[in-house]
Structure 1
Amino acid sequence: MAEIYIVGTAHVLKESVEEVCRVIEEVKPDAVAVELCPKRYNALINNIQSISLSDVLKGGNISLALLQIVLAYFQRKIGEETGVKPGEEMLTAIKKAKEIGADVLLIDRDIAITFQRLWQKMSFFEKLKFGWNILKGMFGGEEVEDVMNNVDSLVEEFRKVSPKAGEVLIDERDAYMTYNIIKASENYDKIVVVVGAGHKKGIESYLKNPEKIPPIEKLLEVKKSRFSVSKAIGWILSALIVGTFAYILTKLGSEMALKAFMYWFLINGFLSALGATLALAHPLSILVAFLCAWLTSVNPLIGAGWVSGYVELRMRKPSVEDIVDLLNASSLKDLWRNKAFRVLLVAALTNIGSMIGTIYGAYVVLQMTGIDIRKLLIP
């Protein structure tokens, strides 16, 4: 079993970079394990990151992509205040390992799996609360030193905001990284482990009690499809709307059915187009949002924002540089002017408009049947 030295760092503090250098120079390990997966390692070493906007829109992962961008932006802004680039302590660890001839071990879980598990596990309200707290942090006045020097408090606050997010982003990765450290310890005598300070306590606990590490296949599992309250509500609402139109057509006649359809079409179309307009979408994207919203609102498998966002992608044609700049934006103005960010924003705001239009449109159409919605909702 190897001697293991764990260095807990604050990802954007200069002191962390200095501590990494000091420990590696003193210990002279034959391996340095870093909190990186191959994707993040390549992005950090080559100073590039990429997002396939087509894949994001086709997969309906718009909110997830925006979350990643906002998190990256938040960490980068803190780094600017402290004079340290995010990931600099990892780059330093890699550089020092190569200087002394030590192997570099990538022990973290694939970032794509982590974010997919995060999105699947969080409830709708957790996502809202999590996003709100990130945005509040971006515009809040809390001192960087105070936040980064109270890691335990920060982790606990994070768990309060979203227990599921804390489980996926912290606990699961603690277990996964410890598993890889234990495996590596069979082949090395001394290992220096460089991880975020929020992971240090969890990794130390798992090293003392390795039997508590969950099966590794469970930590890598990404469910292809699963039941969710939001999906169930979507299908129920779709069935309700279709059933209402069928009732109007058979009981109240085709003229009333046409009138109900026009209300449905205009309400959904106007609010979806309004969302796209607020994102300063291309005129064709706004038109498409208006025209397709009535149909996407009764089909939970596709969103109006995915369609308008795809049109925006074709009209704006973001370049590779736009995508790189998106992930390296240093101000909100930079984000706002970025073509790639605009595509995601158009998709997100169109979807929000469509959601509001669906709820209000359903209310209006149901009222046309003579049914008092208030009596149904309030017994």
Structure 2
Amino acid sequence: MADDNTASATRGPRETVVVGDREYVLLGTAHVSAESAREVRAEIDSGDYQRVAIELCAPRHQTLTGDDQLADLDLFRVLREGKAGMVAASLAIGAYQQRLADQLGIEPGAEMRAAITASQSHELPLDLIDREIGVTLKRVYRQIPWWQRLSMLGGLVGSLLSREKITAEDIEQLKDGDILESTFKEFAAQSSDLHAALIDERDRYMAASLLATDAPAGRTLVVVGAGHLKGLANHLRQGFDNPATVRGELSTVPRGARWLKWIPWAVVAVVLVGFAIGFWRSPALGGQLVLEWVIINGALSALGAAAALAHPLTVVTAFVAAPLTSLNPTVGAGMVTAAAELWLRKPRVGDFAMLRGNVKSVRGWFRNRVSRTLLIFLFSTLGSAAATYIAGFRIVGQLFG
């Protein structure tokens, strides 16, 4: 096995790795750089390659090629399967990348689109080697502690609220990083677990994808964000005993700690026991505890729905449903409020078609019926969750304080 590392002032960073009878030319790009797109196109047009591989997964490839599955998004299914948060996070990341691209007047993922179209015109096989973004976000979520999950959410929100202008020079500096990592730049450097899931694991996954490909001998152009260049090259040089097994392991989502699943049930048990003790001591005290539970749960969940600009009847639904759903952890208040919103204001075809464009701005999230429903689900759920613990502590305080 041999390797070569070359770069020049007029070319993006690159490395060449030879594995047996295959040669991989790793080209580091910036995901929102017009110069990177031109370089990718020129490389493929040179006729020096028999295959092209790109840092995309199937869903992201579909988005770039116009076959966007958002048009067929089943919101009820997304909510029922607990994927609302992941869909919202994916939209926020895409919006951040689009905002960067808009400031320079180019399309996001221009270099990947250039690789797709150029490989098609030269009739070259195209390999999608990156891990699905949904799996990456889930692994990030599972592998970092709860306080870093809050920071992750803050990074997504901050990427939407920020209005800082990005210069062309700043964009080119993304060649030293990764688009996902840059979204969470405020804290990614301080979290080894986050960095591992966002960068290191994907380096291994992409290397395993390349080595697992049943491709004949020849030269492959591998187009990746430059933040992956060194890690990917190192893993290719080291190799794997079984690349397919490595991909499988990195595609699984770790299970959450079992004891965490029992916390909501424990809180419900405490609340119900508190009600029983209250009524045993005095019907007036028991009634007061139940009333406070209803008001606190209903008000905070309704406040969350209202903050997401829900329909007035959806806000009322949140107030009525939250006190009940909080006593049954298998049904969340957000599921009820989102269902009510979908019934009252069903998304139109145009909402799905304009979704990616709308979520580039905060106002757009609230204007589009699809994204607004996701916000209603999340906000009313957070309001109900906070209310459950607040009311629970009040019940314990009044009984034993």
* Structure-1-length-normalised TM-score: 0.89
Cα shift at 1:264: 0.8
Partners of 1:103 and 1:186 in 2: how far apart?
9
Partner of 2:246: 215
**What amino acid sits opposite 1:143 in the alignment?**
I
Cα shift at 1:368: 2.8
Cα shift at 1:148: 4.2
Partners of 1:331 and 1:151 in 2: how far apart?
25
* Deviation string, structure 1 residues 102-153 (Cα, Å, up to 9, x no partner): 1111212233333332333333211211221233344152634325415436
Partners of 1:173 and 1:328 in 2: how far apart?
27
Selected match of 1:75 from 80, 97, 111: 97
| Residues 48, 324 of structure 1: 8 Å contact kept | no
**What amino acid sits opposite 2:392 in the alignment?**
A
Q: SS where residue 215 of structure 1 aligns?
A: helix
Cα shift at 1:187: 1.5
Partner of 2:194: 165
Partner of 2:348: 319
Partner of 2:32: 12
Q: SS where residue 354 of structure 2 aligns?
A: helix
Q: SS where residue 46 of structure 1 aligns?
A: coil
Partner of 1:375: none
Partners of 2:101 and 2:141 in 1: how far apart?
26
Partners of 2:74 and 2:144 in 1: how far apart?
24
1:176 corresponds to 2:205: yes
CA 1:137–1:39: 2 relative to 1, 3 Å:
closer
| Residues 35, 194 of structure 1: 8 Å contact kept | yes
Selected match of 2:176 from 152, 167, 174: 152
| Residues 177, 225 of structure 2: 8 Å contact kept | no
Partner of 2:57: 37
Cα shift at 1:361: 1.4
RMSD: 2.4
Partner of 1:293: 322
Cα shift at 1:204: 0.5
Partner of 2:13: none
Partner of 2:148: 126
> Any gaps of 5 or more consecutive residues in structure 2?
1-20
1:46 corresponds to 2:75: no
Which of 59-68 and 335-344 deviates more? Answer: 59-68
Partner of 2:301: 272
Partners of 2:346 and 2:203 in 1: how far apart?
40
> Any gaps of 5 or more consecutive residues in structure 1?
373-379
1:353 corresponds to 2:383: yes
1:135 corresponds to 2:179: no
Instruction: Provide runs of 4+ in structure 1 moved above 6 Å.
Output: none
| Residues 269, 354 of structure 1: 8 Å contact kept | yes
Partners of 1:247 and 1:14 in 2: how far apart?
68
Selected match of 2:285 from 233, 256, 271: 256
Partners of 1:308 and 1:324 in 2: how far apart?
24
| Residues 28, 100 of structure 1: 8 Å contact kept | no
**What amino acid sits opposite 1:152 in the alignment?**
D
**What amino acid sits opposite 1:345 in the alignment?**
L
- Give 1:182-201 correspondences, 5 Å limit: 182-184=211-213, 186-201=215-230
| Residues 33, 191 of structure 1: 8 Å contact kept | yes
| Residues 268, 361 of structure 1: 8 Å contact kept | yes
The count of residues paired between Structure 1 and Structure 2 equals 369
Q: Counting helix residues as a fraction of each chain, which structure ranks higher?
A: 1
Q: SS where residue 156 of structure 2 aligns?
A: helix
Partners of 1:42 and 1:68 in 2: how far apart?
14
**What amino acid sits opposite 2:100 in the alignment?**
I
Cα shift at 1:323: 2.3
Partners of 2:134 and 2:397 in 1: how far apart?
45
Percent pairwise identity: 31
| Residues 3, 190 of structure 1: 8 Å contact kept | yes
Cα shift at 1:353: 1.6
Partners of 1:85 and 1:147 in 2: how far apart?
13
Q: SS where residue 294 of structure 2 aligns?
A: helix
Partner of 1:376: none
Partner of 2:22: 2
